[in-house]
Structure 1
Amino acid sequence: MFWLISHIAIPQSQVLFGFVPKESLKVFDWIQSIIERLEAVVNYIFERLPYNALNRLIIYLIILFFVALMVLLPSIAFLKVYISYRDRKYAHLYKKYSNDVIQYLMNALEDKDMEELKNRKSRFHRRVMVDVLMAIDKAENKEVSDKIRKLYKDIKLDADSRRKVQKRAWYKRIRGIRELSHMREKSENQRILDFLNNKNEVLRIESQIGLIKLLPFVPFAFLDSQEKPFTVWEQINVFDLIRKKRIEIPEFHLWLDHWNDSVVMFCLDMIRILKQKEATPKVLELVNHDNDRVKGKVIKTLVELENIDAVALLKEMYLLEELPNKLNILKSIGQLRLEGEIGFLKKELKNPEFKIRMECCKSIALLGAWGEKRLREIELEADETLKKIINHVLDPRL
């Protein structure tokens, strides 16, 4: 290795014709002298060590790590200085373009400044301009928003955003989607729709959020094209957008027939949270769904919608259900506080399954003072396990 580096020579013709400055020769000579000294040290060590391939390997690895360290340290220092420089430059440009945009909104921007904005070709400058426009457009003022979007198109920043969406890198696509959706630029809607089934979860989330903003009259149309599982993280992000933005809320029962169970469960959650009671008949149709998780959501939704008529149907389902759904049905009866169902609950107290007995006691206790009195009466004839359950449920410390 050292022999190869030390015998790298610069052709004399390059020096004669000025391709390599004479000052550079001094640097090369200095580097070559260092390499020769290192080679002498290594040879000295090898001469005094017993000949062993492992010894040589260890020496070469130490040298390799040393060289890597000498390369990495300056690189890290340079990168840190460069990032600091970029941050200072960004802050300076952000302030400058913020003033320009404010002047523009006040119709006080001079023609030469406007031309300067239009003629900026640097990607970094144009990125700062987009950030400024999006930040200023936070206020819910239609006149301001219209002006900002006009400026966005006048300086052709929309073309930059479209190019980002068309890139292969997922993080560039995300940035493009955010810019286009914020500015209500719909030219790339079809491409964004295609991203809904991308394997990258972050890109899917941004596509869903972007389409909600881009399609204000049908903000949840993306659910029709949802082929991938609609993950909990995606659902949280969509719900957070609903909570923060003034978006027209659709009738979520429209998607209860969707073949994607994750979409159905999301819609059941939305029906439950938003108290869309008009969806009750459609929800009732799902009580015999093939997926037990969907059934569980159906039971919770019916209870939250306070649908008493559904109790009879849930009781019919009870015997055929697995333990998780049995517990949900018992819990639903308790939450609805139906005194007329005390007989059904007392019957299930004889079930050998501990969790069922516990849930029945909790449901009876939810009936208030009347329910607590019934539990004390039941306790008189109960076995030891049931007595412990009743005492636990009625413990005032809980």
Structure 2
Amino acid sequence: MQLQFLHINLISVFEYTAGMLDVMLVFFDSFKMFFERIHSFIEYIFERLPYNVLNRLIIYMIIGFFTALVLLLPSILFSKLYITYRKNKKKLLIQKYSKLVVRFLIDDLSDKELSDLKRIKSKFHRKVITSVLIAIDTAENKVVSNQIRTLYLDMKLNEDSSRKLRKRWHHKIRGIRELSHMRVKKDNKYIMDFLQKPNEILRIESQLGLIKLLPFVPFAFLDSQEKPFTVWEQINVFDLIRKNRIEIPEFTLWLDHWNDSVVMFCLDMIRILKQRESVPKLMELLNHENDLVKGKVIRTLVDLESKEAVVKLKELFVLEELPNQINIIRSIGQLRLESEMDFLVKKSNDEEFKIRMECCKSLALIGESGQEKLKVLAENGDEELKRIIKHVLDPRI
């Protein structure tokens, strides 16, 4: 009986194989006929065209483009269909896993369902689950956040995130975001290495990630900041400070940093956050060798309303370049220091037009006493000074 059954199965296999061979032969015959007709068509055209190398080249180019179109069209259609399929599948999976995660949070998930969830191996499914966990997580609710982090670790999704750090830069960024959101610190040292990469986007994500991963020393990355700390990076870091409850350090800690871009960032933070206790350290920086840093120090001292800094600034006036001289004069007006009006009157006779203009503006800012001084100057001053004072005192400006 078994031999008969085996015999029948063998006959079925042979018949199936024979049938497949017949189909393949028919296909190859059709393919051969198609190319023979194309060849005949080309020969037909060449016979009726005058013999010319250019004519033949054009015909071959047309045939090449047509063949490429025939080959590419199915692949384009297939890729479009595949992308649509993946998008729809992802949407359905997001709905499915969102419900499961919510049920997990309210303790409505059975042990079997939880076990099945943890056993998922598909990379695509695990990627969707990670995005769902991050989307549901809310920083305001610590209980929910801790539960989601526990599920993330139990499913070993952190290992998937860690592996992304070894791939191309856009995968690295995704890995950093996932690990920092879930507060997984195992790869901190690896993320810190990205601070020295030339890719600016990767550096920004590394900085933001480390701020979240190092809550007690969130700006420790500044210590090892070798690359220029760009304005775009600074904006992103400040935005993260503004949106999250991050402990603000004393930015004077990095005012001696050898990287001037880091120093300038710290000066901006001191100015924005009004860290007035930084004034003594800022006074030391007035002798900084970089004029851009020095100019920002002056503006910071003015914004911190440090009147004691004005005496020091006046001493440096003659030694400074024009931009810093203008900042010093501007600081007197912004602080409305009546005691410094004589200094402004004296400098209003300077040969440099910009200095004269700033002196007059600062006198006007001081108030009525400063405006009275301007009127006296207008009576005895030269034509240029009279025009400047008229412009400054114009009520329409």
The secondary structure found in structure 2 opposite 1:254 is helix
- Tell me how far apart the structure 1 counterparts of residues 40 and 354 of structure 2 sit (CA, whole Å): 79
The secondary structure found in structure 2 opposite 1:275 is coil
State which drifts further: 61-70 or 149-158: 61-70
- Tell me how far apart the structure 1 counterparts of residues 393 and 70 of structure 2 sit (CA, whole Å): 71
Alignment-derived partner of residue 336 in structure 1: 335
Matches within 5 A, 1:140-219: 140-167=140-167, 169-219=168-218
The secondary structure found in structure 2 opposite 1:307 is coil
Alignment-derived partner of residue 389 in structure 2: 390
- For residue 120 of structure 2, what is the amino acid of its counterpart? R
Alignment-derived partner of residue 114 in structure 2: 114
Alignment-derived partner of residue 309 in structure 1: 308
In the alignment, structure 1 residue 281 sits paired with structure 2 residue 280:
yes
State which drifts further: 341-350 or 278-287: 341-350
For structure 1, which runs of at least 5 residues remain unmatched after alignment? Answer: 1-15
Seq. identity, %: 62
* Structure with greater helix share of residues: 2
Q: CA separation of 1:121/1:343 partners in 2, compared to 1, >3 Å: closer, same or farther?
A: same
- Tell me how far apart the structure 2 counterparts of residues 321 and 49 of structure 1 sit (CA, whole Å): 83
Residue 195 (structure 1) shift: 0.7
State which drifts further: 176-185 or 348-357: 348-357
- For residue 230 of structure 1, what is the amino acid of its counterpart? F
- For residue 135 of structure 1, what is the amino acid of its counterpart? A
CA contact (8 A) 2:364 2:371 kept: yes
Alignment-derived partner of residue 3 in structure 2: none
- For residue 127 of structure 1, what is the amino acid of its counterpart? K
State which drifts further: 69-78 or 370-379: 69-78
Q: CA separation of 1:107/1:376 partners in 2, compared to 1, >3 Å: closer, same or farther?
A: same
- For residue 128 of structure 2, what is the amino acid of its counterpart? V
Q: CA separation of 1:376/1:93 partners in 2, compared to 1, >3 Å: closer, same or farther?
A: same
CA deviation vs aligned residue, 1:201-257 (integer Å, no higher than 9, x gap): 111111111111111000001111111111111100000000000000000000111
The secondary structure found in structure 2 opposite 1:319 is helix
- For residue 376 of structure 1, what is the amino acid of its counterpart? K
Q: CA separation of 1:75/1:324 partners in 2, compared to 1, >3 Å: closer, same or farther?
A: farther
CA deviation vs aligned residue, 1:119-148 (integer Å, no higher than 9, x gap): 111111101111111111124122111111
CA deviation vs aligned residue, 1:1-57 (integer Å, no higher than 9, x gap): xxxxxxxxxxxxxxx9769643344444444444444444444555524523x5544
- Tell me how far apart the structure 1 counterparts of residues 335 and 362 of structure 2 sit (CA, whole Å): 9
CA contact (8 A) 2:138 2:144 kept: no
Larger Rg: 2
State which drifts further: 277-286 or 322-331: 322-331
- Tell me how far apart the structure 2 counterparts of residues 360 and 45 of structure 1 sit (CA, whole Å): 87
Residue 306 (structure 1) shift: 0.9
CA contact (8 A) 2:252 2:278 kept: yes
In the alignment, structure 1 residue 65 sits paired with structure 2 residue 70:
no
The secondary structure found in structure 1 opposite 2:287 is coil
Matches within 5 A, 1:1-398: 21-46=21-46, 48-52=49-53, 54-167=54-167, 169-398=168-397
Alignment-derived partner of residue 11 in structure 1: none
- Tell me how far apart the structure 2 counterparts of residues 302 and 294 of structure 1 sit (CA, whole Å): 12
CA deviation vs aligned residue, 1:67-106 (integer Å, no higher than 9, x gap): 3334444433333322222222111111111111111111
State which drifts further: 254-263 or 108-117: 108-117
State which drifts further: 90-99 or 265-274: 90-99
Residue 382 (structure 1) shift: 3.0
- Tell me how far apart the structure 2 counterparts of residues 156 and 396 of structure 1 sit (CA, whole Å): 69
Q: CA separation of 1:217/1:39 partners in 2, compared to 1, >3 Å: closer, same or farther?
A: same
Q: Give the CA RMSD over aligned residues.
A: 2.2
Residue 319 (structure 1) shift: 1.5
Alignment-derived partner of residue 13 in structure 1: none
Per the normalisation by structure 2, the TM-score is 0.89
Q: CA separation of 1:332/1:17 partners in 2, compared to 1, >3 Å: closer, same or farther?
A: same
For structure 2, which runs of at least 5 residues remain unmatched after alignment? Answer: 1-15
CA deviation vs aligned residue, 1:332-374 (integer Å, no higher than 9, x gap): 1211111122222222222232222222222112112332332
- Tell me how far apart the structure 2 counterparts of residues 215 and 287 of structure 1 sit (CA, whole Å): 32
Alignment-derived partner of residue 9 in structure 2: none
- Tell me how far apart the structure 1 counterparts of residues 72 and 303 of structure 2 sit (CA, whole Å): 60
- For residue 325 of structure 2, what is the amino acid of its counterpart? K
